[in-house]
A = this chain, B = another copy of it.
Amino acid sequence: MEEKDMNAIENLMLSHKSVRRFTDQPVSDELLERVVRCGQHAATSEFIQAYTIIKVTDPKVKAAIYNEVTSQKPILSAPVFLVFCADVSRLLRASEMNQRKAPESYLEYTETFLMASVDTAIAAQNTVIAAESEGVGCTYIGGIRNNLPKVMELLSIPNGVYPLFGLVMGYPLENSDEAAKPRLPLDVVLKEEKYHTDGEEEQIRAYDEVIRQYYIDRTDGKRDETWSMQMADFVEKPQRPFLKEVLGKQGFLLK
């Protein structure tokens, strides 16, 4: 592959921005299928391909999700709204196709939940990058986890499956020249040989000022906060405390 193409992929990634406002231009079925196929070609643990993606177009279903699960306008306005589900039920059916029966414990293991969740996440990320390479913007919608029972009722989700996140896609309304939101300094996240936090506080303080300025610039000074302040606020909130029980009802995380 020419170096120009490679830099194009990296440039694409480094300029990633979640897109929440879209034009009316539809995303063609052909393009959607192409990017989902790209998603399928991500690595998969033990070849399990443990995900199912549900394309939701029914306006009544979208409205119910908006009203009862997570009030994010892109769910209503985006040309494409997908729900990525971690799915091990298909493996159980595959067993039955061979006159075999998986032990009940298979579904219950924490490892099973984790393996399927990771498979789903990396398939989704390939889908996102492929879409972005076609000029289609995306945003993940973790908010569907606010009310999984409602989502699962709307989408007829069986045992052994759970909706992990939504994904909205469409052609961005604005072609923003704005820089992507800065990430933590590389040295904070990439360590040699062992985990350590040497120098981390200084690095985060410096990053805090970068983020503070980023917010100030984008909000005409109205938002004045650092990354670490934002994190301090976030970790004080209850984190979907019902999730374990809801997943347990789907058979997950019992072991």
Contact = CB atoms under 8 A, between A and B. Distances in A.
Interface in A116-141: 117-118, 121-122, 124-126, 128-130, 133-135, 139-140
Interface string A76-119: 00000000010010111111011010110110011110110110
A243 interface: yes
Given A133-B6, A193-B54, A109 B12 contact: no
B157 A189 contact: no
Interface in A130-184: 130, 133-135, 139-140, 142, 145, 154-158, 161, 164-165, 180-181, 183-184
Interface centre among A10, A15, A115, A117 (most CB of B within 10 A): A10
A145 B109 CA distance: 13
B111 A243 contact: yes
Contact of A49 (B33, B109, B135, B189): B189
A12 B14 contact: no
B133 A186 contact: no
A210 interface: no
B186 A33 contact: yes
B191 A53 contact: yes
Contacts of A195: 52, 54, 85, 155-158, 161
Nearest to A124: B122
A133 B47 contact: no
Contact of A129 (B57, B126, B232): B126
Contacts of A24: none
B161 A5 contact: no
A205 interface: yes
B190 A55 contact: yes
A161 to B, nearest CB: 6
Chain A to chain B: the 7 pairs with minimum beta-carbon distance, closest first? A94-B228, A102-B235, A111-B240, A40-B183, A121-B121, A109-B239, A94-B231
25 contacts: A6-B134, A9-B9, A13-B126, A13-B130, A36-B189, A45-B142, A48-B234, A54-B191, A55-B193, A57-B193, A85-B195, A88-B235, A93-B204, A94-B228, A95-B231, A100-B232, A105-B238, A111-B145, A117-B118, A118-B164, A118-B165, A121-B122, A156-B195, A244-B255, A253-B253
